[in-house]
Every structure is written in C-alpha cells, then in structure tokens.
Amino acid sequence: MRESKSLPWSRCRRSRPAFVALALAWAPMAAADGVMDTLQVHGFLSQALVITDDNDFFGPSSSGEGSLKYTEIGANASFRPRHDVLVAAQVLSRRAGGDGSDARPALDYGVIDYQPYSDQQRTLGIQLGRFKNPFGFYNQTRDVAFTRPSILLPQSIYFDRTRSLGLSADGVSLYAEERMQHGTLRFTGGVGTPTTRDLDSQLYPAHLGMDVSGSTSSIAQLRYEHAGGRFTAALSAADVNLDLGLGPHEGELNFQPWILSLQYDKERWAVTGEFALRQVSTTDTGPLPGSEVTGESWYVQYTRRFFDDWQWLVRYDSLVSDRDDRSGRAYEAQGRGPAHARYADDLTFGLQWRVNPRVLVAAEYHHIDGTGWLPLRDEPDPADTQRSWNMVLFQLSLRF
C-alpha cells in the first residue's frame, strides 16, 4: 500500500484535512524544482442497482425496480515535493441509501508521507494526516471497485453501515517493511481520532438523538507475504474509543477487534478467509444501560479467474453479534428486538468482467439468513424486517 523511494507511486491510499493547505504551501517549491512532473491524478466512478425481495439495503431496494442509491465517485492526487516525501489525498462522494445528504464530497484520505530510510531491503516511514486504517485485506482500498473481489465486501468484517468508523483516522501512522529472501514482512500502526461521519444514526436509532464523536484510538497490523504474494497472512488489532452524548447525559463506547486474515493465491484461483473477534462495551448513557458483548465474524471465499478478464466468486460469510447468545433468543426475550437482528449468514455468488483496464462490470447474488448487518438508515425498525431474504446487485465501474 506504499512505495519505496525507488518505485513510482501507484497504490498509496491515505489522508488528512490539512492536505490542501500544505499542498498549496509546497506548490511554489515543487514548481521551482520541477517536481510537479511527479504529479499523478486518478479517478473512479461506480453505479450499482440493488434489488431485494424483502428488507431494504442502500435505498428502497425491495420496491419497484430496485434502488440506484449506491454510487461512488472519487478523485485522488499525489506529488513529491522531495524524493523522500509524498503528499497524497482523495476526495470521495458516496451515496449508500438515505436521503442523499451523505453524497456530499468529503476528504477520504490525505497524508504527508515521509520516508527517512528506504533501500532494497527495508523501508521506514511516517504519515501525518487522515490515514486509511490498516485492518484486514481490503479496508485500505475498499472504495475502489477494481480492488474488491465483489461488489459488496464481506459484511461481517467490513461493515458498510458503520463504514466511517473503520475507514480512517486523523493522526499519525508509522510503517516499516522488511524484504527478505522468500517474503516481505510489513508493520503498520497508527494513533488518531476515528472519523464518525453519519455514525450517529447508524449505531443508534435516529429517534434517540444520540451524538457520537471520536476519541483517541489506536490500530496496528502485522502482515507477511510469501513468494510474491502466493501466501499472505495478517493480524490486525484496534482499540477504538467513541464519546456518546444523549441530551445532558454522556457515555463512552469502546470497540476492540482482532482480525486474522489468510490467503493462498495460485494466479488463476485464490482462497481467502478472515476471522474476527469483536469486543464492544458501553457505559451507562442516560436511559441506555451499559453493556459488554463479544461478537464473532468470519468468512471463507473462493475466486476463480478465467478467460483472462473474467472472474467468478463463491463466499460464505457469518456474523454473530454476541457469542453468548448466538441465536439472539435471549435478546428477543428481553424485548429488545427480533432474534434475527443479532446474526447474519450470507451465501454469495459473484461474477466480474473487466471489459478493459478502465471498465468493470459485476453482478452478484446473496442469500441471507438474518439481518445483523442491515443499515439502520434503510430499516430503522428491526421488527419490520424479515429473517430470510435475497439480494441481487449489478454494478458498472469506470476509472481513469
């Protein structure tokens, strides 16, 4: 996800609100030194159609001819004011259901990346700004459809309803890379304040009026790639803290996920699996009592490439919100909602066609038992949802 000084920047995905001011401050120096030749600008656009038989997902997908309220438009840029400094940022407009207010362009990432040391064997670097959180295999590039194996990532690990929380943080990130004879070892760790855009109504029902804001949090990942990526293993961990406000009442939420990621890639086919334990604890916040639960998430995925530009996928994805109440029956007995709101098992079949390097067409089918990851924005009353439901998605993606 980052480069050495000797390699051209092509895959960096990081961030910071101060990026614009810093870029403007450096522009005269960059122009004077001719380093504006290092400027790179890229963009992408994705539009999806979502159709469900029951339960809405990303808009009114269960009525009429489905929902077109899943759109992603982004543009990113980078340049080098010095050979060991990279300035990069991306602005993203993303609509995923709702009333469209979340489609306002926002800074997705923006960083100043400084590499004090880099040679053929190792790289050390630091990033200041809004950086992408390093967890799992897909989080740091999840907004670009061309980097995803499917239209929707496994929702048990990469929640779309709380996407902003896991996406990025404002602070400082350190990274190191050691290139060995048979593989590469990478470490990334960061401290900062998580982004919480539109998180209020996704964590809690909108009628409560809960205010959610980020507090100092940390995240780290250790990743090993063997034989040029034939085998990859990663361990990610985080300590995420949020401040809660409900009228005059204040509280806290702490989220501690551990994620083990494994992949074996044989060029034409690949097997990928990730397993996560998620501990979530909250303090009393006014009328809402505190709680502490440990959730469990995992998926196994098989992808097969054929005809050079086609790929199909099959995946089984499982989510349990509380390991001590896997069926959700105790949750329902307490009158807190339907049992199926506490889990979700998703069987997915997908197909991708890369028409050319700039155009991607994809389709996929989901059969889901449970509603554990349904966005509250689309289904604000869990009692109105159906336990068993089906979803079909079609997506056209462009990049330049």
pLDDT at 99 (0 to 100): 67
Which of 12 and 374 is assigned the larger pLDDT? Answer: 374
Residue 19 near residue 111 (C-beta atoms within 8 A): yes
- The partner residues of 237 in beta bridges, in order of sequence, read 220, 258
**C-alpha span between 73 and 46 (Å, rounded):** 7
Name the burial class of residue 121, with classes exposed (0-12), middle (13-18) and buried (19+) by CB atoms within 10 angstroms of its CB.
Answer: exposed
- The continuous run of DSSP H or E covering 27 comes out as helix 19-33
- The partner residues of 118 in beta bridges, in order of sequence, read 123
pTM: predicted TM-score of the whole model, two decimal places: 0.88
Residue 267 near residue 306 (C-beta atoms within 8 A): no
- The continuous run of DSSP H or E covering 119 comes out as none
Tell me the per-residue pLDDT of 46-93, one tens digit each, with 9 for 90 and over: 999 999 999 999 999 998 889 999 999 999 999 999 999 999 999 999
**C-alpha span between 9 and 88 (Å, rounded):** 10
Please report, as a single letter, which amino acid is at residue 134.
P
Tell me the per-residue pLDDT of 122-177, one tens digit each, with 9 for 90 and over: 999 999 999 999 999 999 989 899 999 999 999 999 998 888 888 899 999 999 99
- Residue from 50, 54, 51 nearest 384 by CA: 54
Q: Phi first, then psi: give them for residue 329, nearest 5 degrees.
A: -65, -40
User: pLDDT band at residue 102, thresholds of 50, 70 and 90?
Assistant: low
Question: Rounded to the nearest 5 degrees, what angle is found at the Cα of 154, between the Cα atoms of 150 and 160?
Answer: 95
Domains of the chain, earliest start first:
19-399 (2.40.160.10)
pLDDT at 38 (0 to 100): 92
pLDDT > 90: percent of the chain: 76
- Residue labelled with tokens 């049992």: 339
- Residue from 190, 85, 177 nearest 130 by CA: 190
Tell me the per-residue pLDDT of 238-279, one tens digit each, with 9 for 90 and over: 999 999 999 899 999 999 999 999 999 998 999 999 999 999
